[in-house]
Amino acid sequence: MNRDDFTSLPIPLALGLLWDIAQAKLENLERPNVPRSPKYDDRFTRKKGQFCWVSEMTLDSLEFWRRKKAEGAAAGGQYADSDGKWVAKFDKWIEWRRLFPYEEWSGTRGEDRANGAPPSKDPALHAWGPRNGETSAPAPAPAATDYGGGADDEDSIPF
């Protein structure tokens, strides 16, 4: 069998052949710990009044923000404790994302089951909603139009 023959095999068959060849060495090894996806997702503030879900960040983004939070925790100050907690959260996400860089996350957001979007360099931004018993502000009224009559009035269509 040559390389092309081997690489054209179905994965379970190819892995079985590899096991047969390497069995003597692999039997003495302990099974590695495969990290599970984090159970809970977190909102990470990105821009004023907006957040993204940590589950929708790429490995590079997670590592970048972990470094920033680690610098903040090391510098001390008002947010050092919060930054330290974020470092621990990012560590869990980074461990999982290293093995599953394109996996869509599934777990709990708040009190609801949720499925995250695929990881993205620019994850979707969301507006912060009411939290901790706050009441939401009323939604703004739709903008008034100068179109004239009601929806059934053909003369009210502006084009």
75 pLDDT band, cuts 50/70/90, is very high
Q: Is 143 helix (H, G, I), strand (E, B) or coil?
A: coil
61 is a domain residue: yes
Two tokens at 84?
A: 């330290």
Which tokens sit at 11? Answer: 């994965």
Identify the band that residue 140 occupies on the pLDDT scale cut at 50, 70 and 90. very low
Does the pLDDT at position 63 exceed 80? yes
Residue 64 lies in a domain: yes
**What pTM was computed for the model?**
0.68
Residue 104 lies in a domain: yes
Please indicate, yes or no, if residue 137 is contained in any of the structural domains. Answer: no
User: Using 50, 70 and 90 to split pLDDT, how confident is the model at 141?
Assistant: very low
Q: Which residues have CB under 8 Å from 121's CB, separation 6+?
A: 58, 60, 61
- Domain-embedded: residue 93: yes
Q: What is the number of domains present in the chain?
A: 1
Residue 59 lies in a domain: yes
Tell me which residue range forms the domain holding 65: 43-127
pLDDT the model gives residue 108: 94
Q: What pLDDT is attached to residue 130?
A: 65
